[in-house]
Amino acid sequence: MSRRSTQLSFQPRAKSPNRNRTQSALALIPSSPSLSALRQSAKDCQACDLWKLGTQTVFGEGPVKARVMFVGEQPGDSEDKAGRPFVGPAGKLLDECLIEAGIERSEIYVTNVVKHFKWAAAQRGKRRIHKKPRQSEIEACRPWLEAELRVVRPRVLVCLGASAAQALLGKQFRVTRDRGTLLESDLATHVMATIHPASILRAPDREGREKQRVEFVRDLKKVASLIANEDAA
Ligand code: URA
């Protein structure tokens, strides 16, 4: 999308339903999917009503052979416009912290549990305010994430924030309590959750931001050493 078009005001668009208006994305998963086939098929997904709000589906991206997959909650305003995950302020912070931890963004696969931006118009101005996805929206979208996991088969899976962690690891999961801990799961050899980089940006003061950032990088360094151990094995 061009720079100019990103400056337009974004309103829910009048879109018409089509054959992809299914209860779950499952019906849209190609039989032997590649990442590009999945991405193509996801473009027209109408498995929940968020397709009416979002500008476009924001599918995951990264190498098919990525050893690490990072999963966030849903695309934000910038991602919705760009059609790519983690390219806005939280994504830029993630990139900086990955570098500090010694992880190359180009080597990881990055995606979200929900692939459309859920938002509400700000009371004043044109800002689009992020809204948390409902459980039914997470469930409707889940087949895309499951298909990404099947195709990429990451050795290390990292959930960013409570929504991703609870969607993948269960409602009982508490990021504040369980972050940075390696978990047993069928999803990947190593599974871990940490905070979402957006929560660092929301910290009320500089000191709080710095503390959260240091702790986030510490978690990412654990991921880096898991990759190093995998390489050495
Ligand atoms: N937050 C997310 O969880 N995902 C993105 O892609 C961007 C911000």
Q: From 55, 61, 74, give the residue whose CB has the most ligand 1 atoms within 8 Å, as the site to mutate.
A: 74
Token output for 89: 């302020």
**pLDDT tens, residue by residue, 146-193:** 999 999 999 999 999 999 999 999 999 999 999 999 998 999 999 999
**pLDDT tens, 215-226?**
999 999 999 999
pLDDT band at 231 (very low <50, low <70, confident <90, very high): confident
Report the C-alpha gap between 63 and 24 in whole angstroms: 26
**Cβ proximity of 201 and 216 under 8 Å:** no
In a domain, 58, yes or no: yes
In a domain, 76, yes or no: yes
Q: Is the CB of 38 under 6 A from ligand 1?
A: no
Residue 14 in any domain: the answer is no
- Answer whether 175's CB lies under 8 Å from 195's CB: yes
Say if 225 falls within a structural domain: yes
Tokens coding 210: 């710095």
Q: Is 2 part of a structural domain of the chain?
A: no
- Half-sphere CA count of 200, side-chain side, radius 13 A: 22
| 4 located within any domain | no
Model confidence pLDDT, tens digit, residues 5-63 = 333 333 444 565 555 566 689 999 998 889 999 999 999 999 999 999 999 999 999 99
From the CB of 54, is ligand 1 less than 6 Å away? no
The reply to whether 9 falls in a domain is: no
**Structural domain boundaries, residue 103:** 21-232
Q: How far apart are CA 227 and CA 144, in angstroms?
A: 25
pTM higher than 0.85, yes or no?
Answer: yes
DSSP string, 133-195: PPHHHHHHHHHHHHHHHHHH--SEEEEESHHHHHHHH-TT--HHHHTT--B--SS-SEEEEE-
How many structural domains comprise the chain? 1
Q: Is residue 160 part of a domain?
A: yes
Supply the pLDDT for residue 233: 77
CATH number where 220 lies: 3.40.470.10
